[in-house]
Structure 1
C-alpha cells in the first residue's frame, strides 16, 4: 500500500507544484490586467480544496465567492470571487490544499481509499482514491492552461515537474 501512496503523492504533488510554479511566474502587472489567469488560478485553488474535503461538504472557501449567473468577462464558471485576490493569497490557498492532500494520502487506509465520496450538490459519487486521481487531472489540466497563457503573454513558462517537491 505504501508504494501506491507514494506514487499517488509524487504525481499529485507534482501537478500542484506545476500549478504553483505557473502562478508564481505570472507577472504581477498582468495578474490584475489580464484577469483570465486569475480566474483560472482561483477556480483550481477552490476545487483543490473542495476535492480534498473528505467526506464531501458544501463548497466554501477562505477566499469568499458568490454563486452567480452573471459571470465576469474572463470568468470561467458561476463561482465568482468576491475580489481579485493577490497571487500570494491564491498561492497560500493552494499550499493549504497541497498540505491537506499530502496528509490525507499518507494517512489513509485501504478502506479509506475505497470509501465513496458523495458530492452534496450533485450526483457525483466515486471512491476516494478515484477522487484523488480526478483532482490530480483537474489541477494538471489548469496548470497546462496557465503555462500556455504564460508562454503567450511572456514567451516563457516553468519547466515540467517530474515528482512532488518535498
Structure 2
C-alpha cells in the first residue's frame, strides 16, 4: 500500500474520503428503500428482462466489488451464489461451453437486505483503505484512475436504484425519498483545498464524469424513435424524459452556471416540471448549455474552496462545495437512469445506449497500457 493510501481524515484526500463515505451511505439508503417497499409479486416478476431482485443484487454486487483496492482483493459476500455463469445475478448471453446455470436461484428480500447491511457496514473501512492517487482502478476492465473509478461506482449505484425506483412508481405508485447525504462532521474537512493540492484532480475527474453523463442524456433523447414519445407519460410514471431533461439542464445551469460560475442564468424550477412538448432539438440545446455551465465552472476550479460550505443550502442542508458537486453528479445519474427506463418502456426497445462507457472518461489509459 502506498503512502497516499493511508492519508488521514485531516488531509485533502481524507476530506474527499469523507465525501465518498457520505455518498455511498446515501445511495445505499435509497436502494434500501426500494428493496423494503417492493411487494413480493414485483420482486420476482419475470416480465422485465431482469427481475427486481436481479437489479438490486447487481447494484450491491458491484458496489461491493468496486470498493475493493483491486480485483484480487475481492471476497464475495458469504451468502453469494458462486455456481452460476453471471455472478452479479443479471441475465446475460449464455456460454454454450458452460454447464453452469445462467441465472442464480432468486435471492429473497431477506437475503438481499442481509447483503445490503454487509455493504453498508463495510463502506467506511473500505473507502479508508483505497489509494485515491493510484493511476489505475485495480480492475483490468476499467482503464481509469482509482479516483474516477469511485465516481463511476457511485453513479452506477445511483443509476440502478433509479431504475428500481421508477419501476416501483410505475407498477405500484410508490415513491422513493431522496437522500442527499450522510451528515459529515466539520473535523472531516479541516484543510482548505489549494491549487497545488492532490484534490485538484477532483475537478478534472468530476468534469469528465458530468460531461459523459450529459452526453448520455443527449444520446438517450436522440434514441427515441418517435419524438412525441419523449413526452409520453405512462400510468404511474411521474415525469417524462422531456421533463427530466429540462430539470437536469436547469439544475446544472443553476448550480454550476449561476452559483459557481457567476452566470446570469435565472432558474425557474417549477417550469422545468410544468413545461410540455418542447422539441427534441430544443432539449438538446438546453443539455448543451448545461454542459457549458459545468465545464466553465470546473475549468475555473482553482478559485473554488472545495472544503468550505457551499454558498447555497441544498434542501435546507449546509454542505461542503465538494459534497454538493458529488451530490449533483449522483442526482444526474439518478435521473439518467429514469430516462433510460422511460425510453425502454415507451418505445418497447430494450437496448441500452452504453451510458456508462468508461472509454469516454478523462483518466482512461491509452491503448496498450496495462493495469496491475
TM-score above 0.5, yes or no: yes
Aligned to 1:118, which of 120, 132, 138?
Answer: 138
Structure 2 residue aligned with 1:101? 123
TM-score (norm 2): 0.38
Given that 2:24 and 2:154 are in contact with CA atoms closer than 8 Å, whether structure 1 keeps it comes out as yes
Q: Distance in 2 between matches of 1:127 and 1:142?
A: 22
Output one character per residue of 1:94-141: Cα deviation in whole Å (capped at 9) or x when no partner: 222222222122x247xx111232324x3x233322222111000000
Relative to total residues, which structure has the larger strand share, 1 or 2?
1
List 4+ stretches of structure 1 deviating above 3 A.
58-62, 75-81
What are structure 2's unaligned runs of at least 5 residues? 1-11, 95-101, 185-372
Structure 2 residue aligned with 1:45? 60
Q: Distance in 1 between matches of 2:116 and 2:183?
A: 14
Once the two structures are TM-superposed, the CA of residue 13 in structure 1 deviates from its matched residue by 1.6
* Equivalent residue pairs, number: 156
Task: From the superposition, tell whether residues 27 and 90 of structure 1 become closer, same or farther in structure 2 (CA, over 3 Å).
Answer: same
Once the two structures are TM-superposed, the CA of residue 158 in structure 1 deviates from its matched residue by 1.9
Structure having the higher Rg: 2
Task: From the superposition, tell whether residues 37 and 119 of structure 1 become closer, same or farther in structure 2 (CA, over 3 Å).
Answer: same
Decide which moves more: 59-68 or 96-105: 59-68
Once the two structures are TM-superposed, the CA of residue 146 in structure 1 deviates from its matched residue by 0.3
Q: SS at 1:33's partner residue?
A: coil
Given that 2:70 and 2:138 are in contact with CA atoms closer than 8 Å, whether structure 1 keeps it comes out as yes
TM-score (norm 1): 0.79
Given that 1:117 and 1:127 are in contact with CA atoms closer than 8 Å, whether structure 2 keeps it comes out as yes
Aligned-residue RMSD, C-alpha: 2.7
Once the two structures are TM-superposed, the CA of residue 78 in structure 1 deviates from its matched residue by 5.2
Q: Distance in 2 between matches of 1:81 and 1:60?
A: 17
What are structure 1's unaligned runs of at least 5 residues? none
Q: Distance in 2 between matches of 1:101 and 1:128?
A: 16
Q: SS at 2:174's partner residue?
A: coil
Matching of residue 64 in structure 1 with residue 81 in structure 2: yes
Q: SS at 1:114's partner residue?
A: coil
Once the two structures are TM-superposed, the CA of residue 3 in structure 1 deviates from its matched residue by 2.7
Q: Distance in 2 between matches of 1:162 and 1:84?
A: 31
Q: Distance in 2 between matches of 1:10 and 1:78?
A: 36
